[in-house]
């Protein structure tokens, strides 16, 4: 079969969206790079500046040095996320909700961009948590990340709870940490029940999150992947578009609108 042109792929995705009623969008760090937040694995990504082996939950929990390192990275990411805005890819997914097409977004991201773009809180399943909130691991007191960032700016290296001196941790799932039970179960159920799964900006190598598109496929849904780099599921996708999420979806959505009119 002849390779499809980009135009044909964009038409094919628009057609899939128009025909679908329960779309699950699965997103990874790549959807937020057009907002200026680097992903982990691309050249210039976070792992080209930090060593991934030094960022595990166990190191955070058991060593002061590990916590210091984590907070250096969290400070950089938190500062960046505070000043960045959703991009056209986030906007397109918010529009899918307004059009009544979206069942939910399952995201690996911790940046809260889907909600900021207009998706309802109850339609965004955050598999790896949210960086805007911090909690005490001993007494569970909650803090906004903005407050902790201010402490870090003033020289604190490892923030501790003001009430009990317990370890403070952002509400994000670190590598090596157990996945949140409700979110993981809910995401699997929604993925198994959708009629179209659209992956945007994920290398699909972080498990168990990357099982979600697989569950969708196994249950008979169509699969579309928009990602710059290769993924292990490329061969299984009904539509595979190599490109930037924002650029691609900005071309897809006018065609969807047109056909729904
Ligand atoms: P990843 O870094 O493994 O992969 C990102 C993928 O996105 C790559 O394959 C890359 O080719 C692609 N990509 C980059 N820019 C793109 C664009 N504009 N359009 C389309 N594709 C693009 O990320 P991952 O698979 O999401 O896994 C890393 C883990 O780190 C996840 O848990 C993720 O949530 C977390 N993380 C989150 C953020 C965030 O919240 N913004 C940022 C960095 C990492």
The CATH number assigned to the domain with range 40-83+130-172 reads 3.30.1600.10
Distances in Å between the Cα of 213 and the Cα atoms of 20, 42, 43, 65, 254 are 16, 21, 25, 37, 25
Q: List beta partners, residue 198.
A: 25, 224
pLDDT, position 45? 76
- Written as tens digits, the pLDDT of the chain (261 aa) is 568 899 999 999 999 999 999 999 999 999 999 999 988 887 777 777 788 888 899 999 999 999 999 999 999 888 888 889 999 999 999 999 999 999 999 999 999 999 999 999 999 999 999 999 999 999 999 999 999 999 999 999 999 999 999 999 999 999 999 999 999 999 999 999 999 999 999 999 989 999 999 999 999 999 999 999 999 999 999 999 999 999 999 999 999 999 998
pLDDT, position 2? 63
Ligand 1 atom nearest the C-alpha of 205 is 25
Q: 227 C-alpha vs ligand 1 centroid, how far in Å?
A: 9
Q: 57 C-alpha vs ligand 1 centroid, how far in Å?
A: 20
Q: 139 C-alpha vs ligand 1 centroid, how far in Å?
A: 33
Residues sharing a CB contact under 8 Å with residue 228, sequence separation 6 or more, in sequence order: 30, 42, 201, 242, 243, 244
Our answer to whether residue 238 is catalytic in this structure is no
- Domain ranges in the chain with CATH number 3.30.1600.10: 40-83+130-172
Pocket test for ligand 1, best of 13, 28, 46, 76 (most atoms within 8 A of CB): 28
Ligand 1 atom nearest the C-alpha of 29 is 26
The CATH number assigned to the domain with range 1-37+86-128+178-261 reads 3.40.50.1220
Q: How much is the pTM?
A: 0.94
Taking alpha carbons only, the member of 245, 195, 205, 209 closest to residue 225 is 245
A 10 A CB-CB count for 138 gives 14
- Domain ranges in the chain with CATH number 3.40.50.1220: 1-37+86-128+178-261
């Amino acid at each position: 079969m002849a390779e499809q042109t980009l135009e044909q792929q964009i038409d094919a995705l628009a057609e899939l969206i128009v025909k679908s009623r329960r779309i699950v969008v699965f997103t990874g760090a790549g959807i937020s790079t057009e907002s200026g937040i680097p992903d982990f694995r691309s050249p210039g990504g976070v792992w080209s500046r930090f060593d991934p082996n030094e960022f595990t939950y166990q190191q955070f929990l058991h060593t002061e040095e590990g916590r210091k390192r984590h907070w250096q990275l969290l400070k950089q990411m938190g500062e960046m996320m505070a000043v960045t805005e959703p991009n056209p890819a986030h906007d397109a997914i918010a529009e899918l909700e307004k059009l009544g097409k979206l069942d939910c977004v399952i995201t690996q991201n911790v940046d809260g961009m889907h909600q900021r773009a207009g998706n309802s809180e109850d339609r965004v399943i955050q598999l790896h948590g949210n960086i805007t909130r911090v909690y005490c691991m001993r007494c569970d007191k909650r803090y906004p990340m903005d407050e902790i960032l201010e402490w870090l700016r003033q020289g604190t290296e490892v923030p501790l709870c003001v009430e009990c001196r317990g370890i403070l941790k952002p509400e994000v799932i670190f590598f090596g940490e157990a996945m949140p039970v409700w979110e993981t179960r809910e995401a699997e159920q929604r993925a198994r029940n959708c009629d179209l799964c659209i992956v945007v900006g994920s290398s699909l190598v972080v498990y168990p999150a990357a099982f979600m598109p697989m569950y969708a496929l196994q249950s008979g849904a169509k699969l579309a992947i928009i990602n710059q780099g290769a993924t292990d599921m490329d061969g299984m996708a009904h539509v595979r578009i190599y490109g930037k999420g924002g650029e691609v979806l900005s071309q897809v959505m006018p065609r969807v609108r047109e056909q729904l009119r």
